[in-house]
A and B are shown apart, each in its own frame.
Chain A
Amino acid sequence: MRPENYQAVSQPPSNEYELNIGPNHPGIEGNYALKLKLEGDTVVEARADAGYLHRGFEKLMEGRLWMQNIALVPRICVPDPAHMEVCYSLGVEMLGGLEVPERAQWLRVMQLELSRITAHLFYFGGAAATMGMYSNMFWGVADRDLVLDLFEEFTGGRVYSMYNVPGGVRRDIPAGFLGRLSAVLDYLDSRLEDYDNLFFSNYVVVHRARGTGAMNRQQALEWGVTGPNLRATGLAFDLRRDDSYLVYDQLEFDIPVEEGGDALSRILVRRRELVESIRILRQVAEHLPHIGGPVRCPIPNPLAWNVPRGESYARVESSKGELAYYTVSDGGDRPWRVHVRGPSQMHAVQVLENLSVGSRIEDIAQIMFTLDACPPEVDR
């Protein structure tokens, strides 16, 4: 090849390219994709791509009896199913004017907080895995299994409990259960130091997560961020306290906040929430023996139950943020409309797209996971 014949071939700059992340990758609990435009390894544009887990729950629920839907709702969010059941039940109870017995409310709180613990343990494992640390993941999943054993014992199901019904819960706890609950709580308490050493105060984690995917409080409010992600920007807001439901107003617990708004703050807020959940569960274990009475109120025949015409908006603080059910009845035996508002509908779409821009490609999985995005909640 002679030099005079040589001509450079014109090509687009090779440092600009597109990359699809997903639908299967370590940054997410489920199938979800991000379409990225990159310059070098910096993201200049991100587009969320959902729909891999769409099962049409809202439509299916319109075709089933009010009671049958209890079997469907927990499947909308796999890592934290208890909040789905309770929120749906609260909505139907508002419509039907049902008074839930006090003992059932305490049992629901117990189920919700145990579910929050399982979700957070899962989260710690996943967040660590996005930084290449797998021991924490195995620990998290193994410790979560102990809580799942408790679920199996008092609800019959390990993951999808279907423990709630409109009007209360299906059955009371078995004899000696509170002792076993306390034993698991003691064990989890004793493990926290190990988790701290391995993960939360690990030099690599702190330096890797500090400043990653950071947002300030104003941005968080503008983008509709809720739950632990909002508390990681310094706003002490929790629906359990500030729009209280069940018996949370009778319980003592703090609302942990962090100021950074970055991945590290989001991880640490959840670490401290885990402690608060254990604290709540200890109070439940202490109070429950003193509260008698039935675990559900009488309801009409569930196969021919025409819920009065009306609409209700029930909200709970799930492990990921604000979860709400808008339920409409036309006076029939099936819902006319059920709309599920999950926290990930904000976190996994707009917030994730905004936070991805300007960050480096190796941080994308970490940003995704620390936002605790749950794709089935987006797709429904």
Chain B
Amino acid sequence: MDKRREMASWLDKVLEEFQGVQVRRKGHSRLRVDVDSDALPALLELLQGRAGYVHLSAISCVDWIDDGEFELVYHVWSYETHSLVSAHIRIPREPGVYLSIYDLYKPAAFFERDIYEMFGVYFEGSPRMEKFILTEWDGPPPMRKEFDTKQYVHDTFDWQEYNPDWLQEIREKGGGIVE
């Protein structure tokens, strides 16, 4: 336990010296770090190599359409200090390109491909920037905020009247089970 505390205070010190980093502690095992997008790979390399953050839990993408930005959040976990660091960066929505961290974390390949498919953010150096889930979809990346699911349904499909005999019978009886 002491070793964990030592590591945590060491990490705080290192992050303070890191350029352009804002650190906020959220609970005993959570750390939120806001960092410039240029500095993120170096930060992750430091966390992985020096502080044992070997597990990439997830990469989340958030579309802040009003700001014209995507927020990318890298959640990394350390099996040594039992703590989670969420590193937040913002990248411009257009052209929506960022660097892959596949060299550091292998699981990044899945998350990067998922974000590429759902948000259209291209990760340079990621091994498989191709379709995975929406293989037959040729519309815009659907998780972007400007894509309106309801509007798409209205535009693409026709409404059909569905009024079969059995339903009419039930309605005439005022609902319930038809005998």
Cβ of B107 and Cβ of A224 under 8 Å apart? yes
For the complex with contacts A49-B135, A337-B60, 19 further pairs of A-B residues with Cβ separation under 8 Å are A50-B132, A51-B132, A51-B133, A54-B133, A59-B149, A222-B106, A223-B106, A224-B106, A243-B82, A243-B84, A313-B84, A324-B57, A326-B73, A328-B62, A336-B62, A337-B63, A345-B111, A350-B109, A379-B133
CA distance A221 to B54 in the complex (A): 7
Can you spell out 22 A-B residue pairs with CB atoms less than 8 angstroms apart? A49-B135, A51-B135, A54-B133, A58-B143, A60-B149, A221-B79, A224-B56, A226-B55, A235-B79, A313-B30, A315-B57, A322-B57, A324-B58, A324-B75, A326-B75, A328-B62, A336-B62, A339-B61, A341-B57, A345-B111, A346-B110, A378-B133
Cβ of B29 and Cβ of A313 under 8 Å apart? no
Q: How far is the CB of B69 from chain A (nearest CB, A)?
A: 13
Cβ of B79 and Cβ of A237 under 8 Å apart? yes
Query: Is the C-beta of A242 less than 8 angstroms from some C-beta in chain B?
Result: yes
B interface residues, Cβ below 8 angstroms from A: 29-30, 54-58, 60-63, 73, 75, 79, 82, 84, 86, 105-107, 109-111, 114, 118, 132-135, 142-143, 149-150
> Taking CB as reference atom, which chain A residue is nearest B27?
A94
A interface residues, Cβ below 8 angstroms from B: 49-51, 54, 56, 58-60, 63, 221-224, 226, 235, 237, 242-243, 311, 313, 315, 322, 324, 326, 328, 336-337, 339, 341, 345-346, 349-350, 378-379
Interface of B is mostly: mixed
Are A56 and B142 also in contact (CB < 8 A) when A221-B54, A326-B73, A341-B57 are?
A: yes
Q: Which residues of B contact A326 (CB under 8 A)?
A: 58, 60, 73, 75
A-B contact count (CB 8 A): 78
Cβ of A223 and Cβ of B143 under 8 Å apart? no
Q: How far is the CB of B164 from chain A (nearest CB, A)?
A: 26
Cβ of B63 and Cβ of A243 under 8 Å apart? no
Q: Which residues of B contact A345 (CB under 8 A)?
A: 110-111, 114
Q: A339 is contacted by which of B60, B106, B150 (Cβ under 8 Å)?
A: B60
Cβ of B110 and Cβ of A59 under 8 Å apart? no
Q: A59 is contacted by which of B75, B82, B142 (Cβ under 8 Å)?
A: B142
Cβ of A59 and Cβ of B60 under 8 Å apart? no
Q: Which residues of B contact A242 (CB under 8 A)?
A: 82
Q: Which residues of B contact A313 (CB under 8 A)?
A: 30, 57, 75, 84, 86
Q: How far is the CB of A380 from chain B (nearest CB, A)?
A: 8
Q: How far is the CB of B44 from chain A (nearest CB, A)?
A: 14
Q: How far is the CB of B148 from chain A (nearest CB, A)?
A: 9
Which of B79, B84, B110, B142: most chain A CB closer than 10 A?
B110
CA distance A127 to B107 in the complex (A): 26
Cβ of B55 and Cβ of A221 under 8 Å apart? yes
CA distance A93 to B141 in the complex (A): 30
Cβ of B84 and Cβ of A350 under 8 Å apart? no
CA distance A50 to B130 in the complex (A): 13
CA distance A215 to B64 in the complex (A): 40
Cβ of B107 and Cβ of A350 under 8 Å apart? yes
Q: How far is the CB of B78 from chain A (nearest CB, A)?
A: 11
Q: Which residues of A contact B114 (CB under 8 A)?
A: 345
CA distance A32 to B84 in the complex (A): 32
Cβ of B149 and Cβ of A224 under 8 Å apart? no
Q: How far is the CB of A198 from chain B (nearest CB, A)?
A: 36
Q: How far is the CB of A195 from chain B (nearest CB, A)?
A: 32
Q: Which residues of B contact A60 (CB under 8 A)?
A: 149
CA distance A324 to B106 in the complex (A): 18
CA distance A211 to B146 in the complex (A): 50
Q: Which residues of A contact B55 (CB under 8 A)?
A: 221, 224, 226
CA distance A60 to B148 in the complex (A): 10
> Taking CB as reference atom, which chain A residue is nearest B66?
A330
Q: Which residues of B contact A221 (CB under 8 A)?
A: 54-55, 79
Q: How far is the CB of B40 from chain A (nearest CB, A)?
A: 17
Q: Which residues of B contact A328 (CB under 8 A)?
A: 62
Q: B58 is contacted by which of A222, A339, A350 (Cβ under 8 Å)?
A: A339
> Taking CB as reference atom, which chain B residue is nearest A342?
B58
Q: Which residues of B contact A378 (CB under 8 A)?
A: 133
CA distance A349 to B127 in the complex (A): 14
Q: Which residues of A contact B133 (CB under 8 A)?
A: 50-51, 54, 378-379
> Taking CB as reference atom, which chain A residue is nearest B133?
A51
CA distance A54 to B136 in the complex (A): 12
Cβ of B149 and Cβ of A63 under 8 Å apart? yes
Q: How far is the CB of A255 from chain B (nearest CB, A)?
A: 13
> Taking CB as reference atom, which chain B residue is nearest A312?
B26
Q: Which residues of A contact B84 (CB under 8 A)?
A: 243, 313, 315
Q: Which residues of B contact A235 (CB under 8 A)?
A: 79
CA distance A93 to B62 in the complex (A): 20
Q: Which residues of B contact A311 (CB under 8 A)?
A: 62, 73
